[in-house]
Amino acid sequence: MISPQQIQTTMARYVELVDAGDIDAIVALYAEDAVVEDPVGKPAIVGIAAIERFYREGLGKTDASASLTGPVRATLNGCGAMPFRVDLNWGGKLCSIQVIDVMEFDAAGKIRSMKAYWSDVNLELRGEA
């Protein structure tokens, strides 16, 4: 079982990789059969190939930066949650999105489930790009 400290490290690393735009490294954090809901309420993205496509078509086409806005919380049974902010150019508009990600990990320390909690109410427009 993955330790709470490993969860904290991996989740903080995820935000660093989003900030760096390193899609290959982000995808490498996921298990082959992982499931992503981003945002929660949209159809699930299932499997590593679909998850890679999701990041390349989303994050890969924006000039995004990301930063933690609070500590990563971790459980003793392979789950974690964290608040963070993503700043990006979305269709010519500069915006910030306040997000909470909840992740479940497998015994090997790979992300098996990621749920991103955010919607339009968590989006702040900051002007034109």
Cite the active site residues. Answer: 14, 38
19: phi then psi, degrees, rounded to nearest 5: -60, -40
Q: What is the DSSP letter of 90?
A: E
**CA distance linking residue 86 with residue 82, whole number of Å:** 13
Residue located via tokens 């981003």: 38
Paired sense of beta strands 93-105 and 73-74, if any: unpaired
As beta bridge partners, residue 111 has: 30, 105
**CA distance linking residue 58 with residue 20, whole number of Å:** 14
